Amino acid sequence: MEPRSRGAAPGGVSVSAVLPAGGSGERLGGATPKQFCAVQGRPLVSYAVRAMERISWISDIIVVVSPENIETMKTIIEKYGHKRVTVVEGGITRHRSIFNGLKVFAENEFSSHLLQKPEVVIIHDAVRPFVEEDIISKVVMAAKEHGAAGAIRPLVSTVIASAADGCLDHSLERARYRASEMPQAFLFDIIYEAYQQCTDYDLDYGTECLHLALKYCKTKAKLVEGTADLWKVTYKRDLYAAESIIKDNLSQQVCVVTNVKETLAQVGFLLPESLKSQIKVEAISISLSKNDSCLQNIFSGQCYNFVCVNDKRWAIQETQELVDMLEKSNIPLLCPVVLILVHLDIPENNSFSIGMEDLTTMKKFARETKKKNILVYGLLIQCK
């Protein structure tokens, strides 16, 4: 999908994002690193990139991958139409990869041209696909005020320490501790200075960016309570859970489109009213041939289900325009789009009728759009 027009970031600061995606996926098992595993036919890393890309005020998105996966990542960017993305070669550890991603804004050797240094930089794992703009905004605002910020969640299990003999040494009081999650955000100069100063030991064995800011820049990060969907895909079972969540999200929203005629507008009002108790409904009354700005806003919200109501004889032209808009938006590249065409047979509309020729045309049209991952269905309603 095309990113939204650039908007103002929280607090008016410039913001970019670094997504480390250089892991080998040992715990997942299998030959394919988890960030490149397909979920609903799409690589996991593409979901994380899209989550950032949909936020208009994020200027640049840096994806850091291992040397052997650079071409794979570039292919994903091209295939799924990602914008504002720069691919950078990672290091042998997580911290070294993130450091390389930050260098794109500060050192010529890591990019063909320096990108504009942001005031705030977001760091987010490429294998956390379900991050929303709200939590990103909160950590960015907190980072602007405190220098560093990160999302946290309550601990699920008690943390214990073992002694040298393998027996229990002590346990931590779970209520006092939190799990560090992503996203995290930093004033760029703080986190970059921290990485410049940190030791090889930190770069090779450390995993917590907030700790580097505290240790080397004396910056105490603001901790922001995160939502339950910030979890990280680590094991194979997590891939199945991610697929289930995506499928569930696809069925939770529908856009009802009618043209500007009074009768259709009324139907367009009654239909969403009857659906509101079950799913999220967007209802718009427009002429597709004249005004697509409302639909473009809905596309940017990743809606995959559309109901189009009309009283024309097989409104092929307007339907084709909607299909073209959907295809241009890249939405069907993510998941199948369902398009239900509702034709109203209104008594005063004497010109309206559907014959065998129309049915043949509709079936052919549906077959062609299916190749584009757009599933078209037709429904004829006779109004008395």
Rg for the chain (alpha carbons), in Å?
A: 25
Q: What is the pLDDT of residues 101-126, one digit of tens each?
A: 999 998 766 556 678 999 999 999 99
List CB contacts of 350: < 8 A, sequence separation 6 or more.
Answer: none
Q: Is 23 helix (H, G, I), strand (E, B) or coil?
A: coil
- Tokens of residue 321, six digits: 């325009």
Backbone angles phi, psi at 113, to 5 degrees: -150, 145
Q: What is the pLDDT of residue 26?
A: 58
Q: What is the pLDDT of residues 215-248, one digit of tens each?
A: 999 999 999 999 888 888 888 888 888 888 877 7
Q: What is the pLDDT of residue 328?
A: 79
C-beta of residue 136 within 8 angstroms of C-beta of residue 122: yes
d(CA 80, CA 63): 15
Q: Is the peptide bond before 10 cis (omega within 30 degrees of 0)?
A: no
d(CA 316, CA 365): 9
Domain ranges of the chain: 15-237, 252-382
Domain 15-237 identical in fold to domain 252-382: no
Choose the most confident range, by mean pLDDT, from 219-228, 287-296, 320-329.
Answer: 219-228
CATH number for 252-382 (one of 3.40.50.360, 3.30.1340.30, 1.25.40.10, 3.30.479.10): it is: 3.40.50.360
In the predicted model, what is the mean pLDDT of residues 339-357? 66
- Tokens of residue 23, six digits: 């892991």
Give the confidence band of 2 by pLDDT, cuts at 50, 70, 90.
very low
Instruction: Please give the model's pTM, rounded to 2 decimal places.
Output: 0.74
**pLDDT(168) > 70:** yes
Choose the most confident range, by mean pLDDT, from 38-42, 60-64, 229-233.
Answer: 60-64
CA dihedral 60, 65, 71, 72 (to 10 degrees): -100
Residue whose entry in the numeric block shows the structure tokens 């379900």? 130
d(CA 228, CA 241): 13
Residue whose entry in the numeric block shows the structure tokens 């250089």? 22
Work out the mean pLDDT of the chain and round it to a whole number. Answer: 83
In the chain, how long is the greatest CA-to-CA distance? 89
CATH superfamily placement of domain 15-237: Spore Coat Polysaccharide Biosynthesis Protein SpsA; Chain A (3.90.550.10)
In the predicted model, what is the mean pLDDT of residues 355-359? 70
Q: Is 104 helix (H, G, I), strand (E, B) or coil?
A: coil
Q: What is the pLDDT of residues 244-274, one digit of tens each?
A: 887 777 777 788 887 656 555 566 567 767 7
Give the confidence band of 336 by pLDDT, cuts at 50, 70, 90.
confident
In the predicted model, what is the mean pLDDT of residues 18-38? 78
Q: What is the pLDDT of residue 252?
A: 73
Q: Kindly tell me the burial class for residue 360, based on how many C-beta atoms sit within 10 Å of its own C-beta (0-12, 13-18, 19 or more).
A: exposed
- Tokens of residue 350, six digits: 């004497």
**pLDDT(280) > 70:** no
Side-chain half-sphere CA neighbours of 193 within 13 A:
14
- In this structure, the number of other CB atoms found within 10 A of the CB of residue 346 comes to 16
Q: Is 135 helix (H, G, I), strand (E, B) or coil?
A: helix
Q: Which residue has the higher pLDDT, 282 or 332?
A: 332
